[in-house]
Structure 1
Amino acid sequence: MKLESANILKEKGIAYRIIELSDRAISVKDVIEYSKSEINAEEICKTIIVKDKNGRKYGIFLRGGDRVDFRKLKTILGKVSIASLEEVKKSTGVEPGAVCPLTIDMPVIVDNRVFENERLNFGSGDHLYGIEIRTEDLQKVIDFKVEDIADN
């Protein structure tokens, strides 16, 4: 198994854990069900790709149980919509559910609630693996903007 996300973390000297899954995980529920090791459901995060009216893509990173509040997001980015399956594949190289915030070439907005957890578990770029890092290490790997974008 060669994961670009794991290589990025290794190159930056960041400790990580690979979460092996017994089946393709697309949703947070899948990750919990298919994880072959102990994971904290509160630490599972997801990356959703949205696009603005000009087609510019953004990665939205939030806790797995949270939903994007599009009214809040509109005040930051203007009107956006969720990218289609084809747009996600074209812009990230992977399907929804496997998107990794470390490997996407677009601005990333992180919901402030993500930082309430000690660790983050998120898509690795492969539906059969998740990756886990300490929350404080996220800023050592990617640039992002922190905003209040989840539905309360």
Structure 2
Amino acid sequence: MTKLRSAEFLDRKGIEYRIIELEERALSIEDVIRFSKEEINVDDICKTMILKDREGGRYAVLLLGGDRVDYGKAREAIGEKVSIASFAEVKEAVGVDPGAVCPLTLGMDLLVDHKVLDRKRINFGSGDHMYGLEIRTRDLEKVVGFRVVDIAKTES
């Protein structure tokens, strides 16, 4: 296995992590659950979504895997109307396809839904569809700047 850029980043920061190897290319949370070669806690799975505004600004949002973006809350948090970036726009903005986006190495504003921080551990895309990364949640702030927001849709 070639060393993942995101894992090298964590090594440089001195952060412990676990690489989650997948049997097949994962594009969705369901794929991660189905293809993980080892046991993972489904509640720890997070996804990184890329949102865009009308002027071309891009924002990364880290959510729990089962949550969805509430676009009203997103507008409030960001200060303008946003929508989800297309497949091609994600690839152009971060260099990888949706499903592989790693929140640690993006070079854009990162918004983390407050519910993510309630988990002891989180796992997320590594930049490669065949691997995920898991870290202690408290280590997230040691490696990347982010803003805590309430951006997930509340199911009623």
TM-score by length of 2: 0.96
Instruction: Give the corresponding residue for 1:82.
Output: 84
Structure 1 stretches of 4+ moved >4 Å: none
State the shift of 1:53 in Å: 1.2
Counterpart-to-counterpart distance in 1, 2:60 and 2:53: 12
Instruction: Give the corresponding residue for 2:21.
Output: 20
Instruction: Give the corresponding residue for 1:117.
Output: 119
State the shift of 1:49 in Å: 0.3
**Are 2:51 and 1:50 equivalent residues in the alignment?**
yes
Q: Is the 8 A contact 2:77 2:151 kept in 1?
A: no
State the shift of 1:116 in Å: 1.3
Q: How many pairs were matched up?
A: 152
Instruction: Give the corresponding residue for 1:67.
Output: 68
State the shift of 1:64 in Å: 0.2
**Are 2:130 and 1:128 equivalent residues in the alignment?**
yes
Structure 1 residues 130-149: aligned runs within 5 Å: 130-149=132-151
Cα RMSD of the aligned pairs, angstroms, is 0.6
In structure 2, what residue type is equivalent to 1:7? E
Instruction: Give the corresponding residue for 1:35.
Output: 36
SS at match of 2:92: helix
In structure 1, what residue type is equivalent to 2:4? L
Counterpart-to-counterpart distance in 1, 2:127 and 2:143: 15
Structure 1 unaligned blocks of 5 or more: none
Counterpart-to-counterpart distance in 2, 1:128 and 1:85: 18
SS at match of 2:89: helix
Counterpart-to-counterpart distance in 2, 1:121 and 1:46: 8
Counterpart-to-counterpart distance in 1, 2:133 and 2:24: 15
TM-score by length of 1: 0.98
Cα deviation, 1:122-142, whole Å, max 9, x if unaligned, reads 000000000000000000000
Cα deviation, 1:67-124, whole Å, max 9, x if unaligned, reads 1110101112210011111110011000000000011110000000001110010000
SS at match of 1:55: coil
SS at match of 1:125: coil
SS at match of 1:74: helix
Q: Give % identity.
A: 58
Structure 2 unaligned blocks of 5 or more: none
